Amino acid sequence: MNKSDIIRQLLAGRSREPGAQGAAYAPANIALCKYWGKRDEELNLPVTSSLSLSLGSLGAHTEVSACDGPDRVQLDGRELPPDSPFAKRLSAYLDLFRENHGFDVRTESSVPVAAGLASSASGFAALVLALNDLYGWELDRTALSILARLGSGSACRSIFQGFVEWHAGSRPDGMDSYAEPLQAEWPDLRLGLLELSTAEKAVGSRAGMKNTVETSALYSAWPEKVADDLLDLHTAIKERDFERLGRAAESNALSMHATMFSAWPPLCYWLPESVHAMRAIWRLRNDGLPLYFTMDAGPNLKLLFLDADRARVASHFPAMRVVESNERGMS
């Protein structure tokens, strides 16, 4: 089973003729329970389910149209060299849809690139929604989530706002592996982006996951850990139990990084500054401040706290950028 087979199935009976232009927006998302490890490399099928929070108005606006000649990819007004990794990934994805023409893709990202947020999730989700518009497919959200997953796993969650769960599914064709929004809101919940380094990472998440699944002795414990954390997160969100949410999210992120440390060659995305910030958070928590963090495949931290504690958290982390609840589209 490859990507083209899935796309043929999803687009059966739908137009292959692009209209004049398609445009769409998709938010970035931060996982509270991580996706780490694939059961199918080609279709981006995960070993476990995952749960995230979308970032409202922090995301990607994309316009796409068909053009003569090769693809042109613009990011924030700058044309990317065709051989840059992002342009190459987009073109390979667009190969799945094109018929003898190029695509002109223009993306404006409101995600602070410096905050180390993966741009691929919002980027691929916005591209899929823009293609849906360009071709007039009128696909439902489940099909759009599956299409986004084929571009980048975590992009399937960026089709929705708020809390979102990506169901791992078990089918070999992945038709049951898509994201769905939770019917839950939490207007006081805040997420703070703590930028510690903007350097390009040496190992991307795709290669990092593969190496971890193949070589880490701790990886076999990961699916059970995820199952426990997902249960905890569901209860915490339902009951608005912040300490429970924070503990599950932080412990999940640290466990994911533990699987990387125990891989070979070892993988460590942390910088001394990351550890310094973690220790400060643990100290503040011991002193009674309900503050937790999560981390992805990079050195930056995402802080979790309640609005009532915002001033105290900001006084310790003045460089933090807080995602507003209206930015999350949740209140």
Query: Counting contacts by CB under 6 A, is residue 54 touching ligand PMV?
Result: no
Q: Which of residues 266-295 bind ligand PMV (CB under 6 A)?
A: none
The amino acid at residue 141 is R
Query: Out of 63, 71, 232, 296, which residue is the one contacting ligand PMV (CB under 6 A)?
Result: 296
- What secondary structure letter does DSSP report for 95? T
Site string for ligand PMV, 100-119 (x = CB under 6 A): ------------------x-
What the block records as the tokens of 34 is 């991580």
Nearest CA to 309 among 276, 331, 287?
A: 287
Q: Which stretch binds ligand PMV (CB under 6 A): 33-41, 63-71, 101-109, 272-280?
A: 33-41
Residue with tokens 């007004």: 77
The verdict on 252 binding ligand PMV (CB under 6 A) reads no
* Positions of E strands within the chain: 22-33, 38-40, 45-46, 50-67, 72-75, 78-79, 102-109, 163-166, 179-181, 189-194, 292-295, 301-306, 321-323
Should residue 50 be labelled a site residue for ligand PMV when binding is judged by CB under 6 A? yes
Q: Shortest Cβ distance from residue 259 to ligand PMV (Å)?
A: 11
The interface region with ligand PMV, picked from 19-27, 149-157, 257-265, 279-287 by CB under 6 A, is: 149-157
CB contact set of 155 (below 8 Å; sequence gap of 6+): 26, 120, 121, 122, 123, 124, 125, 128, 148, 149
Q: From the list 48, 107, 205, 325, which residue makes contact with ligand PMV (rule: CB under 6 A)?
A: 205
Q: Is 43 exposed, middle or buried (0-12, 13-18, 19+ CB in 10 A)?
A: buried
Helix (H) or strand (E) holding 224: helix 222-239
The alpha carbon dihedral of 25, 118, 295, 115 has a sign of: negative
Of 67-75, 150-158, 257-265, 299-307, the segment contacting ligand PMV by CB under 6 A is: 150-158
CA distances from 77 to 74, 105, 109 (A): 6, 11, 10
- Minimum CB distance to ligand PMV smaller for 16 or for 201: 201
Binding track over 297-326 against ligand PMV, x by CB under 6 A? x-----------------------------
Among 35, 93, 219, 242, binds ligand PMV (CB under 6 A): 35
- Least Å distance, CB 152 to ligand PMV, is 4
Asked if 120 is part of the footprint of ligand PMV (rule: CB under 6 A), the reply reads: yes
Judged by CB under 6 A, does residue 161 bind ligand PMV? no
Closest approach, Cβ 209 to ligand PMV, in A, equals: 7
Radius of gyration of the chain (CA): 19
Q: What residues make contact with ligand PMV under the rule CB under 6 A?
A: 31, 34-36, 50, 118, 120, 152-154, 205-206, 296-297
